[in-house]
Amino acid sequence: MSLAWPLFRITEQAALAAWPQTGCSDKNRIDGLAVTAMRQALNDIAIRGRIVIGEGEIDHAPMLWIGEEVGNGEGPEVDIAVDPIEGTRMVAMGQSNALAVMAFAPQGSLLHAPDMYMKKLVVNRQAKGVINLALSLTDNLRNVARALNKPLEDLRMVTLDKPRLKPAITQATQLGVKVFALPDGDVAASVLTCLQDNPYDLMYTIGGAPEGVISACAVKALGGDMQAELLDFCEAKGDNADNRLVAQQERQRCEEMGVAVNRVYSLDELAAGNDILFSATGVTGGDLVNGIQRVANGVRTQTLLIGSADRTCNIIDSLHSW
């Protein structure tokens, strides 16, 4: 796809729109600014695009809605997976590791699913083919350690520091696995797991489905492996009357969209083909890319652009002067 430059400019614009609100404590304002910037930038480029999975419904934030058509109506038909700001809470609280992220793929390539929770397991290319979400986390940790020729005590698992992941953290630490629990940001964790000089051997999380599909695009482009499973609200947040109502609505939407809750999806089912583009621009400073920085008469942005066709990773530093 000849859309690498437009894609990278879109995530830049979203990051630039959100960044001035760092520390404002208003997640919805940050999301709204990023969404507006992304939508405008998308509609300026020559694509016939459709949002197949987007962020926003879980926390009732502004959103690029699922099924929305974007682009100027000319050019290639494109599936788009988007999270205008991964880590709105981090921007709102002035914390690190917030990104503007988006992925492009040819029409029909990306999983079309509701915005709900998703269990995700990611490994780098050295452990490709050994993961299986139908097995326990303990079995997967043992299989990955065996594939990497490492003792369990040397295995490094990254996850999120969330109550729903406490059992997984306990399982891993009881085996001796080193666990790195991040406050948010499983897209960055997925990419870091698959980079050549990776700080982690695998990622196991329960987070948003949009971030899962976006992560799958990066994992595919980097030659790693991933499996995922859609979870309803009760499975992710606990069983009560209110959550059961949300879970029922989620399951109905999944049926309407042709996807299944509690079915294990392979990497090729999440992101098919080898013509995928992934872009992430830093908003606040992070482990994957730098955040936006003030310079004389403007700001500097840093973007990671990954293409699956040639498996290249480009770090792009841009100066924006005004």
pLDDT of residue 168: 98
pLDDT of residue 92: 96
pLDDT of residue 65: 86
Rounded to an integer, what distance in angstroms lies between the CA atom of residue 238 and that of residue 92? 26
Picking from 12, 4, 8, the residue whose alpha carbon sits closest to that of residue 320 is 12
Rounded to an integer, what distance in angstroms lies between the CA atom of residue 265 and that of residue 171? 23
Q: Which residues are annotated as a binding site for substrate?
A: 86-88, 117, 162-164, 184-186, 208
Q: pLDDT under 70 in the chain at which residues?
A: 1, 55-62, 322
Q: Which residues are annotated as a binding site?
A: 31, 55, 83, 86-88, 117, 162-164, 184-186, 208, 211
> Based on the number of CB atoms within 10 Å of its own CB, is 106 exposed (0-12), middle (13-18) or buried (19 or more)?
middle
pLDDT of residue 196: 85
Domains of the chain are 4-108+274-321 (3.30.540.10), 117-270 (3.40.190.90)
pLDDT of residue 310: 82
pLDDT of residue 57: 55
pLDDT of residue 45: 96
b/e map of 176-214 (b: 16 or more CB within 10 Å)?
Answer: ebebebbebbbbbbbbbbbbeebebbbbbbbbbbbbbbb
pLDDT of residue 55: 67
Q: Which residues are annotated as a binding site for Mn(2+)?
A: 31, 55, 83, 86, 211
Angle between helices 209-222 and 186-194 (to 10 degrees): 20
Record the pTM. Answer: 0.94
String of DSSP letters for 26-48: -HHHHHHHHHHHHHHHHHTSS-E
pLDDT of residue 321: 87
Place of tokens 């989620």: 250
